Amino acid sequence: MCALSAFLLAPAALADVSVDWDRGVAFAPFDTFGLEEGTALSNPLAALRLEQAVSAMLVEKGLREDPSPDLLVIVHASVEPARSLNVGSYKEGGGAWETQASAIRVIDAGTLLVDLLEASTRRLIWRGMATDTITNNPGRNEKPVPKALRRMFKKFPPAAAKQAVPK
């Protein structure tokens, strides 16, 4: 929690936060995570605080960091307009397509993106995105980033999908 509050005052606008996940994945078995390099902020200290804030949020949700994790966490942050971001080499959704090369994504300035991948398959299973959250000024990020992360992870882990009961 200390990392969240000590993190990076922010854009006055309330961040728009959205979350999506693979409804076919049971999140209960996941209990460990590991950070993988994403698209970092140009300020290495701000990038470190951002990773620490995400890690603190996952620990608060009952996960623990481990060198052999169940989940891979990739954090992307953009403070420049229409910056191309390397979002890694992993499967989308149920594996309908897969890329071995790094994918390129363009997102708006001020966007924070957190991807959770199933470590064994590198399949994307959860994504949180907050817009109007990150700025070039680390001092202006102290309040909006933790607030956006709390909103992003409010209902994490997602509840298991309800199965239809045959009649």
Q: What is the pLDDT of residue 2?
A: 45
Closest CA to 11 of 128, 115, 111, 154: 111
DSSP label of 84 = E
Give this prediction's pTM: 0.75
Integer Rg of the chain from CA: 16
Tens of pLDDT along 5-39? 333 333 435 679 999 999 999 999 999 999 998 88
Contact 62, 31 (CB under 8 A): yes
Closest CA to 15 of 117, 158, 154: 154
User: SS3 for 44?
Assistant: helix
Q: What CATH number was assigned to the domain covering residues 2-152?
A: 3.30.160.670
Distance in angstroms (rounded) separating the CA atoms of residues 47 and 40? 6
Rounded to the nearest 5°, which phi and psi values hold at 18?
A: -135, 150
For residue 73, the cross-strand partners are 35, 116
Q: Report which residue type is found at 166.
A: P
Rounded to the nearest 5°, which phi and psi values hold at 53?
A: -65, -40
Tens of pLDDT along 98-127? 444 455 556 678 889 999 999 999 999 999
Tens of pLDDT along 46-102? 888 899 999 999 999 999 999 999 999 999 888 876 444 454 545 555 554 444 445
Distance in angstroms (rounded) separating the CA atoms of residues 113 and 81? 15
Spell out the domain ranges in the chain: 2-152
DSSP label of 140 = G
